[in-house]
Amino acid sequence: MDTLVSFPCLLPVQVLGSAIVYDGYLHVRVGAFLPSAKSTNFSHLGNGQCHSGEEYRIRVSLPEADNIEGLQLDCEWRLQCLLSEHHDVLSQRLKHCKDLTSYLKEVKSVVECLIEQTPASQSSVAQSRKIVEEMEKIGWEKLVNVDASFQNLTLQCEDAAHRQHRLIVHLGAQDSTPPQCVADLPGKFSFQWSAKGHVSDLMKQFEAALVRYQQFWDAVESVDQKTWVLEPDTPSFSACSRRIALSPGTSVQITVDPRHPTSMPECRFLGADQVINPLKDKLNSNIHLWDNSSSLVSNLETLLEVSFPSPTNSKKEDFSLECGICYSYRLGDEIPDKVCDDTHCGQPFHHSCLYEWMRSLPSCQQSFNTIFGECPFCTKPITIKLPTK
């Protein structure tokens, strides 16, 4: 009964044998403000506000009703943030308490001291209230993360193809200051912001941007599914290029225009000259066959007169040839992209490995931005461009 007298908002809600669970609110008599309890998973039980202080939603589980040993305290997100660095203090105080009432009084005392030591400014109070109200409009399920200052948010939404996209928002100190936004899009995320701007308006503009890029993502996703993409290893939503395997040591890098994803992409062939030169000729002679109503893969196969190796008929390892100098496939973010032109060799190299190798040999000659030397494997002539800075 002492617990109910001292903490009338905390009630026993479950009794299992000798175990008991209390659920409700811990009232703290301070003037500091943190976002209301409806910003937590307990929104269906009230807003957690009171006129003389704050109320935090808590749940206390006792293995035995008259014994606080083994007590478990669960609390809402606001209180978790406040107590995150003070679990040791609470554990020590629990050891010196004889019953639940005395322990809860200790918890209450610690919370009041912490809030008084870190009072919230009026501006942060207003900002917190505003964000809570904004998320009520947007939907809490779209909030991935928010920091303690309520200035930095990570929001998430789903496009028509059920792809999950995130928008990172850094709010300005003043409402009139436009926020900084980070989004994984193939183009710049441009948005309108006014002195009375709302995060919900920003989210609507982000969702509209996702709609504009649907056709682009559908197009490149088809490439990812139907071919072996050597680079990038894990394509981001902003990635416009794909390096597609054609055969061991030969690939084509396509760069798709996100504004016109069905148009012919820019193509760059990588491999031995005797292999890629015929492909270039076919591309140029068949360019008139490009059909904007067909997929990228289908169009490229038509123009190049090839069938791309795919996950259904080959293994990626067949095209992941190791560098002839460092004997590895991936060197940081780089994979072999320079191949010896000799038909009996065809050894691939990382551009950086071959450059460093040839630069160290006194027999190599340089003319403008090209180095002339010998293949480390077959000693036949090989050239390499200077790396771009």
Mean pLDDT of the chain: 86
Cβ(167)–Cβ(206) under 8 Å?
yes
More confident residue, 39 or 361: 361
Cβ(346)–Cβ(249) under 8 Å?
yes
pLDDT attached to residue 185:
97
pLDDT of residue 48 exceeding 60, the answer is no
Cβ(124)–Cβ(170) under 8 Å?
no
Q: Render pLDDT for 191-203 as a digit per residue (tens, 0 to 9).
A: 998 878 889 999 9
H helices, E strands: number in the chain: 10, 18
Neighbouring CB atoms inside 10 A of 360's CB total 8
Q: What is the DSSP letter of 60?
A: E
Q: What are the structural domains, with CATH classification, of the chain?
A: 2-117 (3.30.457), 122-212 (3.10.110.10), 216-318 (3.10.110.20)
72 contact partners, CB below 8 Å, separation of at least 6: 60, 61
Q: Render pLDDT for 101-112 as a digit per residue (tens, 0 to 9).
A: 999 999 999 988
pLDDT attached to residue 41:
39
Q: How far is CA 107 from CA 64, 91, 111, in A?
A: 20, 10, 6
Confidence of residue 77 (pLDDT cuts 50, 70, 90): confident
296 contact partners, CB below 8 Å, separation of at least 6: 219, 220, 222, 223, 254, 256, 261, 262, 265
